[in-house]
Amino acid sequence: MRHHGLAPIIFGLILLLSLPLLNISCGGDDNSLNDFSVSPYYPRNGQDQVDLLSNGVLTFQWSVYPNNPPFGAVYDIQWSTDPTVFPDANTISNINGYTQEVRGLQLNTLYYWRIRMKNQQDSKLSGVWSFITSPNYTSTTTTSTTTTLTTTSTTTTVSSSTTSTTIYPTTTITVTTTTLI
């Protein structure tokens, strides 16, 4: 019987120690968030005059890099008028996706916000961003109508779309588009 000495043991030890360098996992931290970052996207950091709908609604957006987070990742959004109250700020938790509608925001107010990406194993916070809401509410409504005119030899379709934007309390802008199809 032939003995190989310490060579197989040394080879195995070198291979085991090199697994992290090769980014090969033996299980256990496949769901780690270490290689990911989460960042607020909208409203932009320092943005002024951010429009709110008439009931104080704003849709926040954020991004993740790289854009395929580990399985089970969800998000919390936190916001406040005081940057020192985190983590005790207003919070909506366990959001799937990259947007969240927030209600009850006030006009002409400085807000701070951040995002937490989390899963059962890990958690990662974005930086804190700020924005100022507009002094007036914005409301948008869209109506569309389609009319078909038929004669014995020709069919003509007329499509009309009207969009009205109201900036409370006094200004209304209405745009009407008519298309002959």
What is the structure's pLDDT at 153?
A: 52
**Has residue 128 been placed in a domain?**
yes
What's the whole-model pTM score? 0.62
The average confidence (pLDDT) of the chain is 76
Are residues 42 and 92 located together in one domain of the fold?
yes
Are residues 61 and 104 located together in one domain of the fold?
yes
φ and ψ of 39, to 5 deg = -140, 135
**Has residue 111 been placed in a domain?**
yes
Q: Count how many domains the chain has.
A: 2
- Taking 50 as the threshold, does the pLDDT of residue 62 lie above it? yes
**Has residue 13 been placed in a domain?**
no
Q: What is the pLDDT of residues 106-118, one digit of tens each?
A: 999 999 999 999 9
Which tokens go with 79? 């916001």
Cα three-residue angle 137-142-147, rounded to 5 degrees: 165
pLDDT band for position 19 (50/70/90)?
very low
Range of the domain at 45: 28-136
- Taking 90 as the threshold, does the pLDDT of residue 63 lie above it? yes
Mean pLDDT of 145-157: 51
* Cα torsion 88, 94, 100, 101: sign: negative
Residue type, 72: G
What is the structure's pLDDT at 22?
A: 42
Greatest mean pLDDT among 124-133, 159-168, 170-179 lies in: 124-133
- Taking 70 as the threshold, does the pLDDT of residue 78 lie above it? yes
Are residues 85 and 160 located together in one domain of the fold?
no
**Has residue 46 been placed in a domain?**
yes
Are residues 34 and 75 located together in one domain of the fold?
yes
CA distance 87 to 167: 34
Are residues 86 and 130 located together in one domain of the fold?
yes
Mean pLDDT of 99-110: 96
